[in-house]
Amino acid sequence: MENLRKLADYEGPSGPVVIIIMDGVGIAQDPAGDMVSAATKPHLDWLDAHAVSSRLKAHGPAVGMPDESDMGNSEVGHNAIGAGRIFKQGAGLVNHAIETRALFEGPVWKELVDNCLEHNSALHFIGLLSDGNVHTHITHLEAMLNEAADAGIEKARVHTLLDGRDVPPQSATEYIDRLESLLNRLNEDSGRDYRIASGGGRMMITMDRYNADWDMVKRGWETHVAGRGRGFGSANEAVETLRKESPGVIDQNLPPFIIVEDGQPVGPILDNDSVILFNFRGDRAIELSRAFEEGDEFKEFERDPMPRVKFAGMMQYDGDLEIPRKYLVSPPSLDRTMGEYLARAGVPQLAISETQKFGHVTYFFNGNRSGKFDEKLEEYIEIKGDKVSFDERPWMKSAEITDKVIESMLENKYRFIRVNYPNGDMVGHTGNCLAVEISVEAVDLAVGRLMEAARKTGAILVVTADHGNADDMFERSKKTGEIVLDPESGQPKAKTSHSLNPVPVYIYDPAGTADIRLSEHRDLGITSLAATCLNLLGFEAPEGYDPGIVDLG
């Protein structure tokens, strides 16, 4: 790995370069459902009118996803920003592994299948049931079920986590129907017993992240592993009943359920079973993986029962910590990240966000790597988030984050600061449009405070985002593009998933340190933010990095 080279005629600002990632704040193509434009945001409006600005792609191939229909997300977004160039990401890696049969010819798949054949035991699949392509894709599950049948597996169970976040809010039965159709076909005249065994909303059970709420994982363990909970005759019956009991509930918030037959659960996980967690994205898969793999040192909750199983993840979710130990598809290796280059160059760095995005400005930004490159040069600050629905606190911890960043800017201890405001994304996922509008206003207020601090300290701000969400809050028909109306209220149905919109980038240099102007490069993506930040710090971008957004005079 080569060292950074300094620019010939520019040494950088007297204060730090601060990249401000407004998570989920994109640029809408249509004003309908655009809560970013609806918000009162004088500081962002000023930057749009007066700062050096552009727009960047943050979805599809621009961030390593398979095609233009694939949303960006915070994980691949921070990978892209930190790595400075495009790497093939989760969904694309799994697609390739299935197409080439590398997944099925690998040692881990064979080990899990052989275990079931040897013990005449069940193969369990746990994961998000949707085609959102952010954590999973239903085609991956379908391919594995078909392959399991071909391999002679007689008993399989699927533990479905319901989405409503990366797909329409109440679409669970569409995916359940599709899965049930496949299971029926595989069972027909075969002697196989393939069924859905349990389920629940992704924000209620199993898919916690960053150790924010281990009770979610405990409820998932009770549901999937122990087979304890409220029983129904089918997954569709469960969803329909739970929706009637809580009108308007989004799929992600549906309570857990199990499928029972003659009063008994059809699919608890037992000794000698094999288990696959088929989520490919890491953040919401690490905790369940730990629960399956860690021994007596696991203290987060009591695992009752704790069956002896063969467990594997779709991917290794944390390479440094080796979580999980066994996995079906190797994750991308993101080397030569901006953080590593700066550490090697002796540049002090600060990374800060609240709990929900702390891992994004650290682990994902550093190329799916835990820990620091240099303990003496780097500080990571996590502001603990509140355990409430985000639409109840749309301002989240924006003020506390800003306090810390301003304090650091005034101390001039760090040359490079990266900060994430989660509001636009986390509140956007609730579907509460008023709260989303307020969340954007909270971020704008924070940006305004940082602009004032930049004027005092000689800092340069790079204000941008990792993907859109708050900019596209109305669900639209896939066929016509028209806004879908709620049949009861007649109002637009809320959209809770990310958008396919570009994101803004504003360069704010109040001290006029350099003659900053847009480069001649066009049609850039958020990978170009790395070269941009390095240039503003006074360094040339490394070989192979995507070109920066600005030229310096």
What residue spans define the domains of the chain?
18-85+333-552, 91-329
**What is the pTM (predicted TM-score) of this model?**
0.78
pLDDT at 319 over 80: no
Residue 210's pLDDT band (cuts 50, 70, 90): confident
Q: Could you read off the pLDDT of 43-97 as tens digits, one per residue?
A: 999 999 999 999 999 998 999 887 787 888 898 999 999 999 999 887 888 998 9
The type of residue at 135 is H
Sign of the Cα torsion 361, 505, 428, 452 reads positive
Beta bridge partners of 57: 525
Give me the percent of the chain exceeding a pLDDT of 90: 85
Does residue 74 have an active-site annotation? yes
Which residues, 6+ apart, have CB-to-CB distance to 429 below 8 Å? 165, 252, 390, 469, 496, 497
Q: Do the first three CATH levels of 18-85+333-552 and 91-329 match, i.e. the same topology? A: no
Active-site residue (options: 37, 54, 69, 74): 74
Phi, psi of 133 (to 5 degrees): 65, 20
For 335-348, the three-class secondary structure string (H helix, E strand, C coil) is: CCCHHHHHHHCCCC
Which residues, 6+ apart, have CB-to-CB distance to 287 below 8 Å? 208, 209, 211, 214, 217, 300
Burial 249-275 (b: 16+ CB within 10 A, else e): bbbbbbbbbbbbeeeebbbbbbeebbb
Identify the CA nearest to 421 among candidates 464, 391, 363, 364.
464
Q: Could you read off the pLDDT of 145-162 as tens digits, one per residue?
A: 999 999 999 999 999 999
Half-sphere exposure (CA, 13 Å, Cβ side) for 206?
Answer: 32
State residue 298's pLDDT score: 97
Q: Could you read off the pLDDT of 85-98 as tens digits, one per residue?
A: 999 887 888 998 99
State residue 184's pLDDT score: 97
Question: Which tokens go with 149?
Answer: 């049948």
At the topology level, CATH places domain 91-329 in 3.40.1450
Looking at every residue in the chain, the average pLDDT score rounds to 95
Q: What is the rounded distance in angstroms from the CA atom of residue 136 to the CA atom of residue 532?
A: 32
Question: Which tokens go with 329?
Answer: 């598809």
- State which CATH number among 3.40.718.10, 3.40.720.10, 3.30.300.30, 3.40.1390.30 fits the domain covering 18-85+333-552: 3.40.720.10
Q: Could you read off the pLDDT of 501-511 as tens digits, one per residue?
A: 999 999 999 99
Beta bridge partners of 18: 417, 461
